[in-house]
């Protein structure tokens, strides 16, 4: 069942099995606020089991671009298009959020982003490969993030 993320009232709905559920919910709400403010887009997620094509697309990009396999189970996912950009998000039980920004018709702005919820360790599959910058969020506390540029077509 799809869930509209409310950034006014942060809820852990759908994320309860995460050891950092409150922080992950704040991270998800932070993303919802960004897309509402920038694009007037309502951020809606669904269980990862219902969003298998989205999860598979994100996992394919991670595997083919950088040979990365996320060990944590995915909890929720979403995909949508705004301003000729295909966006996909997967939220994992560990507190990790992976997003893909894939511009349509313009291969110069395509990337994968990683965001770590406050209180989680850097996942083993990312620790040696990426440096994470810190950013403060009223909804999510301290978010650590990193990214890489997508080189191939998906």
Q: Say what the pLDDT of residue 136 is.
A: 87
How far is C-alpha 140 from the chain's CA centre?
Answer: 13
Q: Say what the pLDDT of residue 115 is.
A: 97
Q: Which residues contact 118 (CB under 8 A, 6 or more apart)?
A: 20, 23, 26, 140, 141, 142, 143
Task: Cite the DSSP H helix spans in the chain.
Answer: 21-39, 52-66, 124-127
Rounded Cα distance, 126 and 9, in Å: 31
Do residues 123 and 72 touch, judged by C-beta distance below 8 A? yes
In this structure, the chain runs to a length of 154
- Count of C-beta atoms within a 10 Å radius of residue 138: 10
**CA-based R_g, the chain, Å:** 14
Beta strand 96-103 with 110-116 is antiparallel
Residue by residue, pLDDT tens for the chain (154 residues) are: 788 999 989 999 999 999 999 999 999 999 999 999 999 999 999 999 999 999 999 999 999 999 999 999 999 999 999 999 999 999 999 999 999 999 998 888 899 999 999 989 999 999 999 999 998 888 887 899 999 999 999 9
């Amino acid at each position: 069942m799809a869930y509209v993320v409310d950034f006014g009232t942060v809820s852990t709905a759908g994320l309860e099995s995460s050891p950092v559920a409150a922080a992950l919910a704040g991270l998800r709400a932070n993303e919802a606020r960004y897309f509402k403010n920038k694009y007037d887009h309502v951020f809606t997620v669904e269980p990862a089991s219902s969003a298998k094509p989205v999860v598979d697309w994100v996992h394919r990009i991670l595997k083919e671009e950088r040979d990365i396999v996320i060990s944590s189970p995915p909890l929720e996912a979403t995909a949508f298009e705004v301003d000729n950009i295909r966006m996909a998000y997967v939220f994992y039980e560990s507190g990790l959020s992976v997003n893909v920004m894939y511009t349509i018709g313009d291969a110069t702005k395509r990337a994968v982003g990683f965001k770590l919820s406050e209180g989680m360790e850097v996942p083993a599959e990312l620790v040696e490969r990426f440096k994470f910058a810190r950013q403060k969020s009223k909804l999510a506390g301290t978010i650590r993030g990193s990214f890489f540029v997508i080189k191939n077509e998906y």
